[in-house]
A = this chain, B = another copy of it.
């Protein structure tokens, strides 16, 4: 299992240097040069680690961290040229996991990356199959079986929504997180989509689609999978 890293920096040279190093060490590298691009890439690719430079042209670095943290728990290591202590504290308190001041040594960065990935490692080792009274969901095989045992066909988008809700079953998932993870951060207000797809999921899964029992709406906040 290769670790996927998203590297964010506005300087193309640094980007290239880091990419070469990390690729040589066995990481799968994606890059972004702006804050918005970083958010888009995070939502689309779900990297296992983010290396973030604070000096971006479009967004403040802490704003990127805050936005990311509103729906993701991916480890974030900040790389910054600023030696100011206040920047460090701000970044860490906003949600960054580590902070390195440029120039840094490559071996140290690699060690801190290993530490960050190790820490975040596999809290998702939960049961891969979730069974209810009316259907069962196999997260590993990406299959849904009805009570009679026949397979329920889900479209890719339907599956994406169901997977997020089931992975955090019982917990409330904000519509912002759903929209960010599936359509990208720019669609945060298109709650239309969620209404449509939740209706479709209910029609396929719920015994009484009009009175949902598993796919619960929490008005104004989000949705919840109740098993």
Interface residues in chain A, defined as those with a beta carbon under 8 Å from any beta carbon in chain B? 85, 88-89, 92-93, 95-99, 105, 107-108, 110-112, 114-115, 118-120, 122-123, 140-143, 153, 155-156, 159, 170-172, 218-221, 224
Copies in the complex: 2
Judging by beta carbons under 8 Å apart, are A92 and B111 in contact?
yes
Picked from B92, B95, B99, B142, the residue with its CB within 8 Å of the CB of A171 is B142
Judging by beta carbons under 8 Å apart, are A107 and B119 in contact?
no
Minimal beta-carbon separation of A84 from chain B (angstroms): 11
Judging by beta carbons under 8 Å apart, are A172 and B142 in contact?
yes
Chain B residues whose C-beta falls within 8 Å of the C-beta of A114 in the assembled complex? 92-93
Chain B residues whose C-beta falls within 8 Å of the C-beta of A112 in the assembled complex? 92, 99
Chain B residues whose C-beta falls within 8 Å of the C-beta of A119 in the assembled complex? 97, 119-120
- In the bound assembly, the distance between CA atoms of A95 and B123 in angstroms comes to 16
> Which partner residue on chain B sits nearest A76 by CB separation?
B115
- In the bound assembly, the distance between CA atoms of A218 and B141 in angstroms comes to 12
Say yes or no: A111-B93 contact (C-beta < 8 A), given A141-B172, A142-B171, A172-B142: yes
Interface contacts beyond A93-B111, A97-B115, A140-B171: sample of 13 additional A-B pairs, CB < 8 Å, sorted by A: A85-B105, A88-B111, A89-B107, A92-B112, A92-B114, A95-B118, A98-B115, A122-B123, A141-B171, A142-B218, A142-B221, A143-B172, A156-B219
